[in-house]
Chains A and B, each alone.
Chain A
Amino acid sequence: MKRKILALVMVLAFALGMTACGSGSGGTLVMATNAAFPPYEYVDGDDYAGIDVEMAQAIADKLGMELEIQDIDFNSIITSVESGKADVGIAGMTKTEEREKNVNFSEPYATAVQVIIVKEGSEIKGPKDLGKAMIGVQESTTGHIYCEGDYGADHVTAYTTGANAIEALKKGKVDAVVIDNEPAKEFVKANEGLKILDTEYVEEQYAIAIAKDNEELLDKVNTALQEMKEDGSLQAIIDKYIKAE
Chain B
Amino acid sequence: MQELWSRLQDSFDQAFIVDDRWMLYVKGFTVTVRVAFFALILGICIGIIIAVIRTAHDSQRKSAHGAGHVLLNIGDKFCRFYLTVIRGTPMMVQLLIMYFIVFASSRNAIVTATLAFGINSGAYVAEIVRSGIQSVDSGQMEAGRSLGLNYRQTMTKIIIPQAIRNILPALGNEMITLLKDTSLVTVIGLKDITKTALNIQGITYQAFMPLVSVACVYLLCVLLLSKLLERLERRMRASDRR
Contact = CB atoms under 8 A, between A and B. Distances in A.
Contacts of A82: 206-207
B105 A99 contact: no
B100 interface: yes
B interface secondary structure, majority: helix
Contacts of B109: 157
Interface in A87-139: 96, 98-99, 101-103, 134, 136, 139
B211 to A, nearest CB: 8
A75 B202 contact: yes
How many chain A residues sit at the interface, stated as a range, is 20 to 34
A173 B199 contact: no
B92 to A, nearest CB: 10
Contacts of B104: 171-173
Contacts of A144: 199, 202
A99 B100 CA distance: 33
B208 to A, nearest CB: 9
A78 interface: yes
B189 interface: yes
Given A102-B205, A167-B100, A139 B14 contact: no
Contacts of B105: 171-172
Nearest to B23: A153
Contact of B205 (A98, A153, A157): A98
A25 interface: no
Interface in B151-209: 186-189, 191, 195, 198-199, 201-207
Contacts of A136: 189
Contact of A159 (B10, B14, B189, B201): B189
5 tightest CB-CB pairs across the interface, nearest first? Answer: A140-B202, A157-B189, A99-B205, A102-B206, A79-B207
Given A74-B202, A99-B204, 7 more contacts: A75-B198, A75-B201, A75-B207, A102-B204, A139-B198, A141-B202, A159-B188
Interface of B: 10-11, 14, 18, 24, 99-100, 104-107, 109, 186-189, 191, 195, 198-199, 201-207
Interface of A: 74-76, 78-79, 82, 96, 98-99, 101-103, 134, 136, 139-141, 144-145, 148, 153, 157-160, 164, 167-168, 171-173, 209
